Chain A
């Protein structure tokens, strides 16, 4: 079996190597195998534990296999989180699957695969898109920003900071989509893009100041089953207005048991 750590980046592969890889089942995500050097740091920390556990696993000699060939292969080059990534993939593969299965960028989540939940939201050329409804092949040459690309090293994006500050999540599964959506949504507002609730729909586009209702309207495509909505709105409002959102709630005896760290 291949030693995963020594797996070359898919970018660096020769055509022959690529063909061999694809026979081995390149269509599946191999852990760390296809993760580039830049994303390695981010992913390594979270994957290392699993890697150690799984690395011991060997497929038994008598395991059953079926041949796999990549169908409808196309080559696509995407600019993902600041790095050019050349991919060979089935033309029917969605951007979400390309990110998750081919590039090891599992931050974008699959909640429905039907464009109905928003958890797969990423930013393509500055606009938020549902990556489950976007074919990877249509993103040729485009700039894709995923949740993994928002922070600069240890410095979180202001939206990420705000989500932490206001506890804009519980289970965290919808969070990457919420944050990507919110980041691009505020840019839309800056560009003067209108929404269903916009009052003035004539005249030149200019930066829109968002009310809470506007924020809700524009974020209504991102579902959160844990119901962290109130805090999500607060977080977005703070980033949008730059002013702290008053805490409207507190325990009568706040902090009696509350551990301050």
Chain B
């Protein structure tokens, strides 16, 4: 089943925020942002900007009618700086002009007098100074102190993983229009329409029922448009409120990179204890998360780091502490994996450290410690594990032993090229860890011509969620998918949505759609019964075991006639259904519970070749065995795996976010920040579906696929590391990601 947007994508007809036709009278916004990471904002002089050509108005914090606050979780994020600036790129003033160019030109004329204060850019430094976003979070299982005493081997060390710029090719943006009775229409490139609605309500003082947020689709989100989309919508909204004119702001790439937060960099300490059989008995870990200047989504990200701190392994004694450290960087935020990858990198490093020290293969320790069903995770959930199955299927299908042998043989031949192979198992929990967010609604209308309109809270951003939702409706109704249209995500149609995040959108919104369609179907079948017709859909279609979609052969009764008949009999052909994931919950007072509906498992084998003269590397293959449950759309799911792997490899290798000691972003354009291009893709990506029929809570048993594959990319780091070790046995590179070519080179030739 093709992505429903295929046609319009290849014809250039898909509409994104910047493509929405603007109406006469639209103003263009441009932000003047802080050039200083931390300081007292003494004064802002907007005179020159205000009198520049085309400028209609310049807005500063004092002009806001509502509250100067857009923090989603903690109220610690002013929309416009007032009194102090907290990071380079913090919006100070908004220039509104008749054209985009005029707004940009005038923004550079705003002057701010800032008295610099000391800027903190490093998480550990912030921790040392007591600069934290909130109290630390802890997970505890068993008794690590006691357990370490009995360990045959104990190792400790430090790791670091860097940030990652989302670099959605469509930058952030918003477009607002005044509506009658003082309301607002907001077009936003956001993963969280409700979050935007709330932020707009906060800064304008307009109640949520007068704010319509509409999202057609995003040109990529990856977490970067979850809460970080709020500011731009709020800025446009305030501007519309004050000028009574439509206002558009589509960020320039460099503005976007400079002003928005990224994946959280982490610095961590670990201590790992193993018994003589290489079983991990105890694991102690402390995470220092660089949150940036305000909370944004840092706390739930931090929590997910803890949830995934033992990755795919069973460790009976775990103590994990996580600090969200407040620094003077743009507020870091969600990014595919949401803290999980950062947690996994540490345990994988700890295992590699132990393997190095004990002279055993890393995969030997990994394999012996994989989760089994019934094992308790550090947060109390008893896992239904596919970890061992995924590992052994990958091992046998791809013949891991031979791959390793081939690399060893190759490395023996000398020369400046060395190969490394690494296994990377993953375990990723599906559901929002904040339980109340695990709910969704779907509005389904069946029209008298037999066509079906579906609206949900899910935002289409390339992950194919709308296609899957249309499949659900078509499948339940047993009609052709052409009859189904999934409409824009709109807060007037669907209220109080959870953001499209946590890989959960297809599950939540798909299930809600399924419920809505089933309710309508039930009513239609009552009509069919009254008419003494066979029930709809005819055998072979519908929501039973298989998902065949399409107009059934020799259909009786006819769908359109049935729908019409139902309408004539005054039967309701619409449904607004609600779904809440059953059985999930978490109690933070004891840090135990059952937060996830299910887990996604998988194992990847990553092969790298390192040029030991230059430090450059290539990936020969990524071969994975992945747990799809039962995929309902193989084309979409495969794309997610490939894309996730490429993005994960990018994070671990070439993508290096650099701030200088004064908190200024140095990797501030595509020329200084590299994302994977068509060259960086592994020569081979092989995907094998894990054979499993275990039922799960996913929509149609088709497990969530958005985030998990990103973590296969962590294997890339260890594959390079193996190759570096093959060049020089004594050389054990520090666990410091990304492993850029420069770093590899420096590691190869130290001394």
Where the two chains meet, the residues of A that have a C-beta atom closer than 8 Å to any C-beta of B are 1-2, 4, 24-25, 27-32, 42-43, 45-47, 50-51, 53-54, 57, 59-60, 62-68, 100, 104-114, 116-117, 119, 146-148, 150-151, 156, 160, 163-164, 167, 169-176, 179, 216-217, 219-220, 222-233, 248-261
Q: Residue among A117, A219, A249, A256 with the most chain B CB within 10 A?
A: A256
B632 contact set on A, CB distance < 8 A = 257-259
Chain A residue nearest in CB terms to B96: A64
* Shortest Cβ gap from B30 to chain A (Å): 14
The answer to the question of B167 belonging to the interface, with a C-beta cut-off of 8 Å to chain A, is: yes
Chain B residue numbers with a CB within 8 Å of A175 are: 9-10, 12
Write out the residue numbers on chain B whose beta carbons fall within 8 Å of the beta carbon of A256. Answer: 546-547, 630-631
Binds A, one of B284-292, B583-591, B673-681: B673-681
Alpha-carbon distance A169/B462, docked complex (angstroms): 8
Contacts A30-B22, A31-B23, A47-B21 hold; do A116 and B643 have CB atoms under 8 A apart?
no
A253 to B167, CA, bound (A): 35
Is B688 in contact with chain A by the CB < 8 A criterion?
yes
Asked whether B267 is an interface residue with its Cβ less than 8 Å from the other chain, the reply is no
Contact of A224 with B169 in the complex, beta carbons under 8 Å: yes
With A64-B244, A164-B10, A252-B688 as given contacts, are A230 and B481 in contact (CB-CB < 8 Å)?
Answer: no
Q: In the complex, which residues of chain B have a beta carbon less than 8 angstroms from the beta carbon of A219? A: 678
State whether the Cβ of B444 lies closer than 8 Å to any Cβ in chain A.
no
Whole-angstrom CA separation of A27 from B56 in the bound complex = 16
User: Are B639 and A116 within 8 A (Cβ)?
Assistant: no
Nearest Cβ on chain B to A60's Cβ, whole angstroms: 5
- B384 beta carbon closer than 8 Å to chain A: no
CB-based contact B633/A113 at 8 Å:
no
- By a CB distance below 8 angstroms, the chain B residues around A179 are 10
In the bound complex, residues from chain B placing their C-beta under 8 Å from that of A160 are 10-11
Chain B residues with Cβ below 8 Å from A257 are 546-547, 630-633, 700-702
CB-CB nearest in chain A for B643? A227
Min distance, Cβ A208 to any Cβ of chain B, angstroms: 18
- Contacts of B204-234 to chain A: CB distance below 8 A: 217-220, 222
What chain A residues lie within 8 Å of B646 (beta carbons)? 227, 229
Closest to B464 in A: A170
Q: Is the CB of A62 within 8 A of B244?
A: yes
- B678 engages A233 (CB within 8 Å): yes
Nearest CB in chain B: distance from A66 CB, A = 5
Within the assembled complex, what's the spacing in Å between the Cα atoms of A241 and B369?
Answer: 48
Evaluate contact between A258 and B245: CB separation under 8 angstroms: no
For A65, the chain B residues whose CB sits under 8 A away are: 25, 56, 98
Give complex CA distance A146, B11 in Å.
Answer: 10
CB pair A259–B547 under 8 Å, yes or no, is yes
Contact of B736 with A by CB under 8 A: no
Given contacts A113-B253, A171-B218, are A249 and B169 in contact (CB under 8 A)? no
Given contacts A172-B9, A173-B220, A257-B700, contact A59 B685 (CB under 8 A): no
The answer, among B99, B217, B644, for a CB contact under 8 Å with A227, is B644
Q: Tell me the total A-B contact number using a CB cutoff of 8 A.
A: 297
B178 at the interface (CB under 8 A from A): yes
Residue of A nearest to B221 (CB): A171
Chain A residues with CB below 8 A from B178, complex form:
57, 60
User: A220–B170 contact, CB under 8 A?
Assistant: no
Could you show 24 A-B contacts with beta carbons less than 8 Å apart? A25-B25, A28-B98, A47-B15, A50-B20, A57-B178, A63-B25, A64-B57, A66-B53, A106-B12, A111-B171, A112-B670, A117-B670, A171-B220, A174-B219, A175-B9, A224-B169, A227-B642, A228-B639, A230-B642, A231-B642, A248-B686, A249-B638, A249-B687, A260-B1
Q: Which residue of B lies closest to A70 (CB)?
A: B99
**Least CB distance, B192 to chain A, in whole angstroms:** 17
Q: Could you say which residues of chain A place their CB within 8 Å of the CB of B14?
A: 46, 172
Q: Known contacts A171-B219, A228-B643; can you find 5 more A-B pairs with CB under 8 A? A: A117-B253, A259-B474, A259-B475, A260-B550, A261-B549
The interface residues of chain B lying within 8 Å CB-to-CB of A57 are: 23, 177-179, 246
CB of A14, distance to nearest CB on chain B (Å): 20
**Is B518 close to A, CB under 8 A?**
no
Query: Is there a chain A Cβ closer than 8 Å to B54's Cβ?
Result: yes
Say if the beta carbon of B97 comes within 8 Å of chain A: yes
The verdict on B55 contacting chain A, using a C-beta distance below 8 Å, is yes
Chain B interfacial positions (CB closer than 8 Å to A): 1-3, 5-16, 18-26, 53-57, 97-99, 102, 166-171, 177-179, 185, 217-220, 222, 243-246, 250, 252-254, 461-464, 471, 474-475, 480-482, 546-550, 628, 630-636, 638-640, 642-647, 669-671, 675-679, 681, 684-689, 691, 700-702
Task: Known contacts A1-B24, A249-B686; decide if A223 and B677 are in contact (CB<8 Å).
Answer: yes
A251 to B480, CA, bound (A): 24
Does A261 contact B1, Cβ atoms closer than 8 Å?
A: yes
Contacts of A25 in B (CB 8 A): 24-25, 98-99
Whether B670 lies near A148 (C-beta < 8 A) is no
A105 / chain B contacts, CB cutoff of 8 Å: 12
Given A108-B12, A163-B10, A164-B6, A260:B219 Cβ within 8 A? no
**Cβ-closest 3 pairs across A and B:** A107-B12, A31-B21, A171-B462
Complex CA gap A169/B6 in Å reads 8
Closest to A213 in B: B679
Q: How far is the CB of A153 from chain B (nearest CB, A)?
A: 11
Contact B22 A258 (CB under 8 A): no
Contact of B481 among A28, A100, A259 (CB under 8 A): A259
Determine whether the beta carbon of A63 is less than 8 Å from that of B19. no
Give A167's nearest chain B residue, CB to CB.
Answer: B635
* Chain A hits for B684, CB < 8 A: 248
Contact A106 B18 (CB under 8 A): yes
Tell me, in angstroms, the Cα distance from A213 to B475 when the chains sit together.
Answer: 41
Contact across chains for A216 and B678 when beta carbons are under 8 A apart = yes
Which of A113, A173, A217, A260 has the largest count of B CB atoms less than 10 A from its CB? Answer: A173
Residues of A within 8 A of B220 (CB): 170-171, 173, 225-226
User: Do A113 and B252 contact each other (CB < 8 Å), given the known contacts A173-B16, A259-B547, A260-B1?
Assistant: yes
Q: Are A170 and B462 in contact (CB under 8 A)?
A: yes
Residue of B nearest to A247 (CB): B638
Q: Report how far A4 CA is from B25 CA in the complex, Å.
A: 13
The answer to whether A169 and B54 touch across the interface, beta carbons within 8 angstroms, is no
- Residues in A neighbouring B642, C-beta threshold 8 A: 227-231
Tell whether, in the assembled complex, residue A111 and residue B169 are in contact, meaning their CB atoms are under 8 Å apart: yes
User: For residue A108, which residues in chain B have a CB less than 8 angstroms away from its CB?
Assistant: 12
Contact indicator B15/A50 (Cβ below 8 Å): yes
**Complex Cα gap A171–B638 (Å):** 14
CB nearest to A218 among chain B residues: B678
User: Which residue of the partner chain, among B13, B179, B481, B700, contacts A46 with CB atoms under 8 Å?
Assistant: B13
Contacts of B671 in A (CB 8 A): 114, 116
Return chain B residues, CB-CB under 8 Å to A172. 5, 8-9, 14, 217, 219, 462
Give chain A nearest CB distance to B34 CB in angstroms: 23
Q: Which residues of B contact A27 (CB under 8 A)?
A: 98-99
A218 vs B210: C-alpha distance when bound (angstroms) = 50
Q: How far is the CA of A46 from the CA of B5 in the complex (A)?
A: 12
In contact, A114 and B687 (Cβ under 8 angstroms)? no
